[in-house]
Structures are given as C-alpha cells and as structure tokens.
Amino acid sequence: MALTNEIIRSRLMEKFGEQLTGWEEPYGMLTFTSDKDLNLKVLQFLYDDVELGFKFMTDLCAVHYPNEEGKELAVVYHLHNMKENVRIRYKIFTGIEKPDVYTASALFSAANWMERETYDFFGVNFLGHPNLKRILNIDEMDYFPLRKEYPLEDQKRIDKDDEMFGRD
Amino acid sequence: MSEHVTLPEGNVEKHTTTINLGPTHPATHGVFQNIIELDGETIVSAEQTVGYIHRAFEKIAEHRAPYQITPLTDRLNYCSAPLNNFGWHITCERLLGIKIPKRVDYLRIIIMELARISDHLICNSIVGVDSGAFSGFLYLMQYRELIYEIYEEICGSRLTTNMGRIGGFERNFTNQAFEKLERFMKEWPPALKEFDEMFVRNRIFMDRTIGVGPISAERALNYGFTGPNLRAAGVDYDVRVHTPYSSYEDFDFTIPVGSTGDCYDRFLVRDQEMWQSMEIIKQAYQKVQEFKGAEAEVYHADVPDFYLPDKKDVYTKMEALIYHFKIIMGETALPVGEIYSSIEGANGELGFYLITDGGRAPYRLHFRRPCFIYYQAYSELTKGGLLSDAIITMSSLNLIAGELDA
C-alpha cells in the first residue's frame, strides 16, 4: 500500500496527538510543526517506525521571521522515505533570544554540517552538537548574516576604498 | 652533536604528524584545506575546512528577481552550469504552475545530459590524473570543448551559461546547434570507448582504486549522499526516475549502480552514466526531430509575466521594452508559496527550497548542494588509508568548491 500523506498524518497523530500542529500540504508536500523540544522524538519516530521509515535527511535549514514574536527562527527538516518515495517537511520554531534546539546529528550524520551551516548563518544553537562552530564564514564573525536585520552591503558605503573597483 | 633529550617521567610523545593539505594544493583541484593527522603513512584523521570561496548566494538571492538568481546558480557546480540553471527555472515554473511544452522538455534534456557528460568526464579523467594517467584528461578535454561549442551556439556563453528562461529557451536551437550536436554524438562515443579501454581493466588503475575510500550503503544514506556517489554504494536512487521532471518519464534508460562504494565503483558508475546519457540524448534528439510544422518551432511556454519578449521586439516596440525592463528588474511579483524542488545534478540531488511572500524576490532560498552534504564523510572515507589514496578519494567524490561553498 502506498504511503500517502493521510496515512503519515494519521500515524503521527496516533503517536503525538495534538502536539503536532500546522498541517499543510503546499505543492503536495506534507508539512507540519511541533514544539521545538519535541524535535528529536518526532524525528526518531519518523526514522524508526516501520510504516513511516523516513531514514534520509534531504535538507536542513533555517528561516528568519523577524515579526513572529517568540518564534522568530524556523528550523526546517526535509525528510525522504526513499522506498516509498515520499517526502515530508517538518518545522520547529524557536525564539531568537534563546535559540536552543536539540541536534539531530546523532540520528543523521548528514545533519552535522547542515546544522553548523544553520548556526553559522542564523545562530541556532544546536544543543549536543559535537562540533558546533562556524563553517562557511570566518571564525571571528560576530553576527549571523542571514538574519533579516542585516541588509546586503550598501553599494554607496564610504568606509571602503573602492577606487580600484570602479566605484567612485 | 646534541645529546638525546629524555622526556620527564609520565610524558607522552606525539607520534603523529600533522600536515596541511591545501587550501591551494595542486592535487586538490580547488580550494580545499585538510588538516591531516598521519601515523607514518596512514591517515588517522582529516579535518576539512570549507568556505574559502563562500559568496553568500542565499543572502544575495533574497534581494534579487528570478532572472538575477540564474547567474548565481551558474557558479554553484560550474562544471555543469546548465543543470543548475534549469533546476532553478524548473523550481520557478513549479511555483508558478506553468505547463512546459514537450519539445522544450526534450531540448532541455539534451542540454542537461550534455552537461552531465561534461561534468562526469572531468571527474573521471581527474581520477585518472591523480592515479598517474594524465593523457586521458588531455584527450577528453577536447570533447568537452565540443559540448561547450553547443552551449555557445544556444546561449552565447560556455562555462557559466546563464541558459534558458522561465518557460523554455531564449531562442530556438539553430541548425548549427543541431549540427554540432550531431558531430558530438558521432565523435564522442569512440573517444569514451577508448578512455574506457585505457582505464576500466587497467591493472594499475584497479590496484590504485579498488577498496580505496569505500562507504557502505547504510552509511552513505545516513550521510545524505546522493547521485553517483550514493549509487556507487549500491542504492539506486536517482531523481530523474523517482520524481521525474522535464519529461524524463518518456525516456528509456538504466541507472547504473555499484556495490562497494569505493573509488573504482564511483568511477564505473560515472562512466556508465555517460553511456546512459548518450542513450538519452539520442532518444531526445529523435523525439525533437519528430515535431513537424508549427510544433517544431516551439521553444518556450506562453508565460507573458516571466518570459522575456523577443530581442527584436524589445528594440523596436515600446510595450516589449517595458515588459523586458519589468521582468529583468523584478517588477512582477512572485506568488506566495513554499516549494522544495530538486533535479538530478551531476553530483546528486540539487534542491531548491524556495519561500516567497508575494514580493519580487524570494523570501528565502536555500540551495541543497549535494557536494556540501557528502564532503563531511571525507574524514570517515579516508581514515586508515594512505595519503595518496586520500587524494584519489577526494577527486572521485567530485568535489566542486563552488557548489560546496555556495
């Protein structure tokens, strides 16, 4: 029997009940969210359950919503059941003041660098991560550049001598 | 002569040697740094440093209209830029819900498979270079030139192609383009066959690659491997088959898989994929030729909001000029949506996670770069091997710094 979004949803509801919210299906991909402290339990269940079997982490990234007070940062997991060829998207939201989220790197080795990247750009603090340090930016950087409050470099800035680059 | 210094009681001498491989080492073919701990000649650990050519594409993309993002995607995996371009355009098309004519799909497939060949031929011949056979690399390079000439005929550029539009191509393929394609289809298979004969059963090459840098299917999946590297470990996952895009379902081809996930299997999988790509190109070219009359002139879908007007109209008609300006400057808003769309890039699943909020630029665009995800396994792949094996492992993974660092 093919694994449909309805089956996944009812299987998850059976286990977690009302703790999972925000059910959506944008462009056919089942999307849901939960409390951020539940993330490992949900991921582990999705991984272990014989019927669900989401054993492949396709992607992990974060999104910044500066206007959503108390849940400014979203961490988005894209999971894939390769046997049934079904993908789902699972989101958790965290406040920006204390962006602590449990790491999924023990479950998925793939999450190691993706979490480092997310930390690097959004400052999500992955609790229990074996090596949480910046990965693409320089170590001395003291801000998280993909947050919305940082604009792209102003083309008219004057603190850089740009004579050599044709800007005057 | 200096006296031998005896260490105080309880001190432990450091037995390993630390060497820096990279960031710019001729053997790494890109900007990669590895801090390698060696015990004699055996690698104890390798710590990768990445980000040397990080260009903040995801940040830039949040401020750019769709057509200004296409050139950014060129610079991800620059060995197969058209794949990235089409991946991005397909993502936009899915977001907008555009139906693409079959002929456009087939033309795209021709280009995408050419790009796959050009990427794999670089990777495989570099594996050859790193195991001591330089001639294969030089010899195959002239066939990449033939592919680049086809790109040039279609879009005017070669390496960073910025090819295509949302909805199709900027112009129809010219007769010269098809002639060049025919030339490539005629000249490439014998060259690849010769390359195969040089490597596949070559005793030296086999000794250098078999059992080097292996990974089990289970670990590869856990590490998020995709593409040829995953298939070499024995998992037949291919986006072209699992989630067909651009009418790949109309084609008859097989997915080569390996079993041990070592350098030799990765080499063979890429090699067989090039043969399969040739099969797909043949079928696609045949399908393209079957279109007759008005159908044979179709090279884009009807998307007035996002498809740029004809250049000749832009120069002569006011309305076309205005539309051209509006589209390039991103005056047309993207609809609100959230979509993850992926294609089979040369290195694996190239995904675009796009969130739009009704503005002219994406609210958030995340690139799932296969390279970045599988490079973290490098330490595990090389552990216990020799330094010279680590070099081959790196090139057989096909690490492209542009894709790694985004």
Does B17 reside within a domain? no
Cα(B56)–Cα(B38) distance, integer angstroms:
34
pLDDT band, very low/low/confident/very high, at B94 (cuts 50, 70, 90) = very high
Q: Residue A107's domain is classified under what CATH number?
A: 3.30.460.80
Candidates B309, B301, B315; CA nearest to B332 is: B309
| CATH code at position B374 | 1.10.645.10
Instruction: Give residue B344's pLDDT.
Output: 94
Which of A26, A31, A109 lies at the smallest CB-CB distance from B223? A109
Q: Which domain holds residue A13?
A: 5-145
Range B303-307 average pLDDT: 89
Q: How many CB pairs under 8 A join A and B?
A: 87
Q: Around A54, how many Cα atoms within 13 Å sit in the side-chain half-sphere?
A: 24
**Does B304 score more than 90 pLDDT?**
no
Domain count, chain A: 1
In this prediction, residue A157 carries a pLDDT of 61
Residue B115 has pLDDT above 50, yes or no: yes
B12 domain residue, yes or no: no
Q: What is the pLDDT of residue B11?
A: 72
Would the CB atoms of B340 and A78 count as touching at under 8 Å? yes
Q: Is B16 within the bounds of a domain?
A: no
Q: Do residues B375 and B390 touch, judged by C-beta distance below 8 A? A: no
The reply to whether B41 falls in a domain is: no
pLDDT score, position A164 = 56
Of A27, A110, A117, the CB nearest to B224: A110
Percent of chain B whose pLDDT exceeds 90:
75
pLDDT at res. B331:
82
Whether A112 contacts chain B with CB within 8 A? yes
Cα–Cα distance for residue pair B51/B55, rounded to 1 Å:
9
Domain membership flag for residue A73: yes
- In chain A, the residue whose alpha carbon lies closest to the alpha carbon of B350 is A58
For chain A, 168 residues long, give each residue's pLDDT as a single digit of tens: 688 999 999 999 999 989 999 999 999 999 999 999 999 999 999 999 999 999 999 999 999 999 988 899 999 999 999 999 999 999 999 999 999 999 999 999 999 999 999 999 999 999 999 999 999 998 888 889 999 988 887 656 666 565 655 544
Tell which of B255, B363, B367, B373 to mutate to test the A interface (max A CBs under 10 Å): B373
Looking at the domain assignment, is residue B360 inside a domain? Answer: yes
Residue A154: its pLDDT value, please? Answer: 65
- Which pLDDT band holds residue B329 (cuts at 50, 70, 90)? confident
**CB contact (8 A) between residue B364 and residue A63:** yes
Q: What is the pLDDT averaged over residues B11-15? A: 72
Least confident segment among A147-151, B14-18, B35-39: B14-18
Cβ distance B337 to A26 less than 8 Å, yes or no, reads: yes
- Residue A168: its pLDDT value, please? 47
> Measured on CA atoms in the order B291, B293, B297, B301, is the torsion positive or negative?
negative
- Mean pLDDT across B130-145: 91
> What pLDDT is attached to residue B125?
93
Mind telling me how many Å the CA of A82 is from chain B's nearest CA? 8
Q: What pLDDT is stored for residue B224 in this prediction?
A: 94
Lowest-pLDDT range, B28-32, B189-193, B281-285, B372-376? B28-32
**pLDDT in the model for residue A58:** 94
Token pair 């000749």 is at which residue?
B312
Domain count, chain B: 1
* Model confidence at B261: pLDDT above 70: yes
Strands A100-102 and A125-127: parallel
Which residue in chain A is spatially nearest to B380 when comparing CA positions? Answer: A109
Q: Is residue A154 part of a domain?
A: no
What integer best gives the mean pLDDT of chain B? 91
CA distance to B110, B143, B261, B265, per residue, from B119 (Å)? 14, 12, 19, 17
- Mean pLDDT along residues B30-35: 86
DSSP helix, strand, coil percent of chain B (3-state; round to 5): 50, 10, 35
**What domain range is B321 assigned to?**
47-405
Separation in Å, CA of B240 to nearest CA in chain A: 12
